[in-house]
Structure 1
């Protein structure tokens, strides 16, 4: 016997048809267009056919304009451009932001197998490059605003490949098309620091054993020892 399972509870957000537009056009050289508006009943069947009214057309136009404005708002600052932003490509699909952060204290999380306690620690100055789907990070030798010729260092963290690209694992990345540059930066920094560091993807990121390094820093007030950073023979100019 065949058994039917109800899987509707596994669906995501359901959208129900509310109305429909049908466009009619005459045949010939001088074509004319007529638009008819239909309401939908609870079963999704078109009812109450009538010519599209001015009010209905205005509601539709406003909806389309709002979506367009959201796309145009991508990576625009809320006010004055933050001083830590170095470069922006505001393309809605392939947009990127390049920014830096000074040395700071952050809450860090580690998987149990590393035997490093979760806690706050000082992290080095960092350079960040991100688009809507991926993140690349580097370390900097000091807090000064980096220039095109500033030498980059490997970021001394787990989950990072030698080229600086970050393995986000199972983290669900959701950067909105309407995200301002401030929201974009905040989202990526939160994704990075609020996820669990789990494994080393390169043995050449620091001059000191990376596990020993973070064990010595977590839950202390020790400044990050920038002397353990290793250069990667690239400058900021390589990212532009």
Structure 2
């Protein structure tokens, strides 16, 4: 959780952090920028508040750059920023990190945090650049490392269910195995995901790039991905299987009552 020395989760550092992101995409590879990237990545691997602050900063920066640089300039900037995120996740998912995580508590926490960040971000889980390393990690990682992760917390995030309708069959199967074992809180992010499934169903928007979808989770999505990097919405068969996964999850009684009321 938040500490006074953290950059992304302390409001007084928000403007400075966005300025540093500008230096990153401008390729200002001086020692101060590189040190900032290293420490920023460390904090993102340890603090859920920093992770949320970072995602919020990216959204705000996208709005700022779109006004300053236009759509094309913003896309170029975010291709660079996303590349740095990809490097961060690939380092965590690497075989060496997996072997280390079996012996080091901090490394295991970083794996859990990486899943937490991905599962909090439908944008990342609709980007093949993040899906492919995740798929490889799930295929290669020892079961004991996977079981260490706190799936009780992850199940209340939309990501585990986003995977249930993704194009990759390995990830869909993994989601279908993990989700029904948990009890989830039916919160606003899960309700938004359910609404988006209904949007696809009601508008017959099957097998279409998510960048073409007018739903909350795709705001500014076209600035982060190219058409070739973006996944597509599910086919009818995959969508119904994803709904089946949703229906198998045990939801906390308090939240369920609120919804029905």
Q: TM-score, normalised by structure 2?
A: 0.22
Q: Greater share of helix residues, 1 or 2?
A: 2
Q: Greater share of strand residues, 1 or 2?
A: 1
